[in-house]
Amino acid sequence: MMLSVAGLSFSYPSRPVLRDVDFDLSAGDFLAVLGVNGAGKSTLLKCVNRILNPGAGVVLVQGEPAARLSRRELARRIGYVAQRQATGGTTVFDAVLLGRKPHIQWEASRKDLEVVQRALETLELEEYALRYTDELSGGEQQKVVIARALAQEPRVLLLDEPTSSLDLKNQLEVARIIRRVATQQRIGAVVSVHDLNLAIRFANKFLLLKDGEVFAAGGLEVMTPETIESVYSVPVAIQRFAGVPVVVPV
Protein backbone atom coordinates (compact mmCIF):
# COMPACT_ATOMS: atom_id res chain seq x y z
CA MET A 1 0.00 0.00 0.00
CA MET A 2 1.47 3.35 -1.06
CA LEU A 3 -0.61 5.45 1.33
CA SER A 4 -2.99 4.71 4.18
CA VAL A 5 -4.92 7.35 6.08
CA ALA A 6 -6.92 6.37 9.17
CA GLY A 7 -8.99 8.53 11.50
CA LEU A 8 -7.48 11.77 10.26
CA SER A 9 -8.96 14.91 11.82
CA PHE A 10 -7.93 18.54 11.67
CA SER A 11 -9.28 21.77 13.12
CA TYR A 12 -8.38 25.41 12.74
CA PRO A 13 -8.77 27.47 15.93
CA SER A 14 -12.14 28.75 14.73
CA ARG A 15 -13.65 25.55 13.32
CA PRO A 16 -13.17 21.83 12.62
CA VAL A 17 -12.32 21.03 8.99
CA LEU A 18 -11.78 17.26 8.77
CA ARG A 19 -13.22 14.49 10.93
CA ASP A 20 -12.25 10.83 10.93
CA VAL A 21 -11.11 10.56 7.29
CA ASP A 22 -10.00 7.10 6.09
CA PHE A 23 -8.70 5.96 2.71
CA ASP A 24 -6.05 3.75 1.10
CA LEU A 25 -4.03 4.24 -2.07
CA SER A 26 -2.31 1.49 -4.04
CA ALA A 27 0.32 1.66 -6.77
CA GLY A 28 -1.25 2.84 -10.01
CA ASP A 29 -4.29 4.45 -8.36
CA PHE A 30 -5.63 7.84 -9.42
CA LEU A 31 -7.77 8.99 -6.48
CA ALA A 32 -10.01 12.00 -7.11
CA VAL A 33 -10.87 13.98 -3.96
CA LEU A 34 -14.21 15.68 -4.53
CA GLY A 35 -16.48 18.09 -2.66
CA VAL A 36 -17.73 21.65 -2.61
CA ASN A 37 -15.54 24.62 -1.72
CA GLY A 38 -14.60 24.43 1.94
CA ALA A 39 -15.18 20.67 2.21
CA GLY A 40 -11.56 20.13 3.29
CA LYS A 41 -9.92 18.86 0.10
CA SER A 42 -6.83 21.09 0.21
CA THR A 43 -6.52 20.66 3.97
CA LEU A 44 -6.53 16.89 3.55
CA LEU A 45 -3.61 16.99 1.10
CA LYS A 46 -1.66 19.32 3.40
CA CYS A 47 -2.22 17.00 6.36
CA VAL A 48 -1.00 13.99 4.36
CA ASN A 49 2.14 15.92 3.41
CA ARG A 50 2.64 17.27 6.98
CA ILE A 51 2.34 20.88 5.88
CA LEU A 52 -0.39 20.85 8.50
CA ASN A 53 -0.29 18.62 11.57
CA PRO A 54 -3.52 16.68 12.02
CA GLY A 55 -5.12 16.73 15.43
CA ALA A 56 -5.79 12.99 15.29
CA GLY A 57 -5.25 10.03 13.01
CA VAL A 58 -2.40 8.22 11.30
CA VAL A 59 -0.84 8.68 7.86
CA LEU A 60 1.26 5.75 6.64
CA VAL A 61 3.54 6.16 3.61
CA GLN A 62 4.65 2.79 2.29
CA GLY A 63 3.72 1.35 5.67
CA GLU A 64 5.70 3.85 7.76
CA PRO A 65 4.15 6.65 9.85
CA ALA A 66 4.66 9.98 8.08
CA ALA A 67 5.09 11.64 11.49
CA ARG A 68 8.30 9.65 12.06
CA LEU A 69 9.89 10.52 8.72
CA SER A 70 12.25 13.47 8.37
CA ARG A 71 11.19 16.25 6.02
CA ARG A 72 13.88 15.12 3.60
CA GLU A 73 12.73 11.50 3.63
CA LEU A 74 9.09 12.52 3.31
CA ALA A 75 9.98 14.63 0.25
CA ARG A 76 11.60 11.57 -1.30
CA ARG A 77 8.35 9.67 -0.97
CA ILE A 78 5.68 12.34 -1.54
CA GLY A 79 5.57 14.88 -4.35
CA TYR A 80 3.22 17.81 -3.79
CA VAL A 81 1.82 20.32 -6.26
CA ALA A 82 -0.06 23.18 -4.59
CA GLN A 83 -2.90 25.14 -6.19
CA ARG A 84 -0.61 28.09 -6.88
CA GLN A 85 3.12 27.75 -7.26
CA ALA A 86 5.51 30.40 -8.52
CA THR A 87 7.99 28.97 -11.00
CA GLY A 88 10.21 32.09 -10.87
CA GLY A 89 12.54 33.46 -13.51
CA THR A 90 14.62 30.35 -14.02
CA THR A 91 14.92 27.95 -16.91
CA VAL A 92 12.55 25.02 -17.15
CA PHE A 93 15.42 22.58 -16.65
CA ASP A 94 16.60 24.32 -13.48
CA ALA A 95 13.03 24.59 -12.17
CA VAL A 96 12.57 20.83 -12.53
CA LEU A 97 16.04 20.19 -11.07
CA LEU A 98 14.79 21.75 -7.83
CA GLY A 99 12.74 18.60 -7.42
CA ARG A 100 15.97 16.69 -6.86
CA LYS A 101 16.78 18.69 -3.73
CA PRO A 102 15.80 15.85 -1.33
CA HIS A 103 18.28 13.56 -3.12
CA ILE A 104 21.23 15.85 -3.85
CA GLN A 105 24.13 15.66 -1.39
CA TRP A 106 26.70 18.23 -2.53
CA GLU A 107 25.95 18.86 -6.18
CA ALA A 108 23.76 17.41 -8.89
CA SER A 109 24.99 14.03 -10.10
CA ARG A 110 24.62 12.44 -13.51
CA LYS A 111 21.66 10.49 -12.14
CA ASP A 112 19.99 13.71 -11.00
CA LEU A 113 20.32 15.19 -14.48
CA GLU A 114 19.00 12.00 -16.06
CA VAL A 115 15.97 11.98 -13.76
CA VAL A 116 15.23 15.59 -14.69
CA GLN A 117 15.50 14.73 -18.39
CA ARG A 118 13.06 11.84 -17.96
CA ALA A 119 10.61 14.09 -16.12
CA LEU A 120 10.78 16.62 -18.96
CA GLU A 121 10.13 13.85 -21.48
CA THR A 122 7.20 12.53 -19.46
CA LEU A 123 5.57 15.96 -19.47
CA GLU A 124 6.62 16.57 -23.10
CA LEU A 125 8.69 19.60 -22.11
CA GLU A 126 12.05 18.71 -23.72
CA GLU A 127 11.88 21.56 -26.24
CA TYR A 128 11.25 24.06 -23.42
CA ALA A 129 14.22 22.97 -21.26
CA LEU A 130 16.25 26.15 -21.81
CA ARG A 131 13.36 28.57 -21.91
CA TYR A 132 12.52 30.71 -18.90
CA THR A 133 9.44 29.64 -17.00
CA ASP A 134 7.91 33.13 -17.00
CA GLU A 135 7.82 32.95 -20.82
CA LEU A 136 5.50 29.92 -20.74
CA SER A 137 1.73 29.68 -20.90
CA GLY A 138 -0.28 28.73 -17.82
CA GLY A 139 -0.65 25.15 -19.04
CA GLU A 140 3.07 24.83 -19.72
CA GLN A 141 3.94 26.26 -16.29
CA GLN A 142 1.59 23.76 -14.65
CA LYS A 143 3.37 20.92 -16.42
CA VAL A 144 6.70 22.28 -15.16
CA VAL A 145 5.61 22.08 -11.51
CA ILE A 146 4.28 18.55 -12.07
CA ALA A 147 7.59 17.59 -13.68
CA ARG A 148 9.41 19.06 -10.67
CA ALA A 149 7.32 16.87 -8.35
CA LEU A 150 8.06 13.81 -10.51
CA ALA A 151 11.78 14.58 -10.34
CA GLN A 152 11.54 13.79 -6.63
CA GLU A 153 10.84 10.19 -7.73
CA PRO A 154 7.95 10.01 -5.25
CA ARG A 155 5.82 6.97 -4.54
CA VAL A 156 2.82 9.24 -3.85
CA LEU A 157 1.88 12.33 -5.86
CA LEU A 158 -0.46 14.92 -4.30
CA LEU A 159 -1.98 17.50 -6.64
CA ASP A 160 -4.27 20.26 -5.42
CA GLU A 161 -6.63 21.32 -8.21
CA PRO A 162 -3.97 21.00 -10.94
CA THR A 163 -6.43 21.80 -13.76
CA SER A 164 -8.47 24.61 -12.19
CA SER A 165 -6.97 27.51 -14.16
CA LEU A 166 -6.35 25.69 -17.44
CA ASP A 167 -8.23 25.75 -20.73
CA LEU A 168 -10.05 22.65 -21.96
CA LYS A 169 -7.13 21.29 -23.99
CA ASN A 170 -4.66 21.63 -21.13
CA GLN A 171 -7.14 20.24 -18.59
CA LEU A 172 -7.45 17.05 -20.62
CA GLU A 173 -3.71 16.89 -21.28
CA VAL A 174 -2.73 17.29 -17.63
CA ALA A 175 -5.33 14.75 -16.47
CA ARG A 176 -4.12 12.24 -19.08
CA ILE A 177 -0.52 12.74 -17.98
CA ILE A 178 -1.42 12.13 -14.32
CA ARG A 179 -3.30 8.97 -15.25
CA ARG A 180 -0.43 7.75 -17.43
CA VAL A 181 2.25 8.51 -14.83
CA ALA A 182 0.32 6.72 -12.08
CA THR A 183 -0.18 3.65 -14.27
CA GLN A 184 3.23 3.42 -15.91
CA GLN A 185 5.40 4.44 -12.95
CA ARG A 186 3.25 2.55 -10.43
CA ILE A 187 2.84 5.47 -8.08
CA GLY A 188 -0.30 6.62 -6.30
CA ALA A 189 -1.85 9.95 -7.28
CA VAL A 190 -4.22 11.89 -5.03
CA VAL A 191 -5.86 14.76 -6.92
CA SER A 192 -8.33 17.30 -5.56
CA VAL A 193 -10.53 18.41 -8.42
CA HIS A 194 -13.71 20.43 -9.01
CA ASP A 195 -14.56 19.11 -12.47
CA LEU A 196 -16.63 15.98 -11.97
CA ASN A 197 -16.33 15.03 -15.63
CA LEU A 198 -12.54 15.10 -15.53
CA ALA A 199 -12.62 13.01 -12.35
CA ILE A 200 -15.07 10.42 -13.62
CA ARG A 201 -13.17 10.13 -16.91
CA PHE A 202 -9.65 9.66 -15.57
CA ALA A 203 -9.77 8.54 -11.92
CA ASN A 204 -10.28 4.96 -10.80
CA LYS A 205 -10.98 5.80 -7.15
CA PHE A 206 -13.08 8.53 -5.57
CA LEU A 207 -13.25 10.18 -2.16
CA LEU A 208 -16.23 12.50 -1.70
CA LEU A 209 -16.08 14.88 1.27
CA LYS A 210 -19.07 16.60 2.79
CA ASP A 211 -18.82 18.88 5.81
CA GLY A 212 -15.32 17.58 6.51
CA GLU A 213 -16.31 13.91 6.57
CA VAL A 214 -16.13 11.09 4.05
CA PHE A 215 -19.56 10.86 2.47
CA ALA A 216 -18.61 8.13 -0.01
CA ALA A 217 -15.43 6.35 -1.10
CA GLY A 218 -14.63 3.64 -3.60
CA GLY A 219 -14.54 2.98 -7.31
CA LEU A 220 -16.81 4.22 -10.09
CA GLU A 221 -19.75 2.55 -8.39
CA VAL A 222 -19.91 5.33 -5.78
CA MET A 223 -20.31 8.03 -8.42
CA THR A 224 -24.08 7.83 -8.59
CA PRO A 225 -26.54 10.67 -9.26
CA GLU A 226 -27.84 10.27 -5.72
CA THR A 227 -24.38 10.60 -4.15
CA ILE A 228 -23.43 13.59 -6.29
CA GLU A 229 -26.69 15.37 -5.50
CA SER A 230 -26.19 14.74 -1.78
CA VAL A 231 -22.66 16.16 -1.86
CA TYR A 232 -23.20 19.10 -4.24
CA SER A 233 -26.92 19.85 -3.70
CA VAL A 234 -27.47 19.71 -7.46
CA PRO A 235 -29.58 17.03 -9.18
CA VAL A 236 -27.64 15.32 -11.97
CA ALA A 237 -27.87 12.52 -14.48
CA ILE A 238 -24.94 10.38 -15.62
CA GLN A 239 -24.96 9.46 -19.29
CA ARG A 240 -22.45 7.98 -21.67
CA PHE A 241 -21.27 9.76 -24.78
CA ALA A 242 -18.80 7.96 -27.08
CA GLY A 243 -18.22 5.50 -24.26
CA VAL A 244 -17.29 8.23 -21.75
CA PRO A 245 -19.47 8.82 -18.64
CA VAL A 246 -20.67 12.41 -18.41
CA VAL A 247 -22.25 14.16 -15.41
CA VAL A 248 -25.09 16.42 -16.54
CA PRO A 249 -26.89 18.82 -14.17
CA VAL A 250 -30.68 18.53 -14.60
Nearest by Cα to 187 from 120, 122, 93, 142: 122
Helices and strands of the chain, counted as H and E runs? 8, 12
User: Dihedral through CA 219, CA 155, CA 55, CA 52, nearest 10?
Assistant: -120
Is residue 77 within 8 Å of residue 62, measured between CB atoms?
yes
Q: Give the pLDDT confidence of 77-121 residue by residue, as tens digits.
A: 999 999 876 666 799 999 999 999 998 877 888 899 999 999 999
As a whole number of angstroms, the distance between CA 124 and CA 173 comes to 10
The H or E element that residue 207 is part of is: strand 205-210
Rounded Cα distance, 228 and 249, in Å? 10
Q: Model confidence over 152-191: pLDDT tens digits?
A: 999 999 999 998 888 899 899 999 999 999 999 999 999 9
> What range defines the domain where residue 100 resides?
3-249
**Number of domains composing the chain:** 1
How many alpha carbons fall within 13 Å on the CB side of residue 83? 11
Contact 30, 219 (CB under 8 A): no
Q: 197 pLDDT exceeds 90?
A: yes
Res 154: pLDDT:
95
The confidence score (pLDDT) of residue 176 equals 93
Residue 135 forms beta bridges with which residues? none
pLDDT of residue 89: 79
Cα separation, 204 vs 208, whole angstroms: 13
What is the CATH classification number for the domain harbouring 146? 3.40.50.300
Percentage with pLDDT > 70 across the chain: 98
* Residue 29 vs residues 107, 158, 170, 183, 191: alpha-carbon distances, Å: 34, 12, 21, 7, 11
pLDDT of 126 above 90: yes
Encode pLDDT of 16-61 as tens digits: 999 999 999 999 999 999 999 999 999 999 999 999 999 999 999 9
Confidence of residue 139 (pLDDT cuts 50, 70, 90): confident
pTM of this structure: 0.94
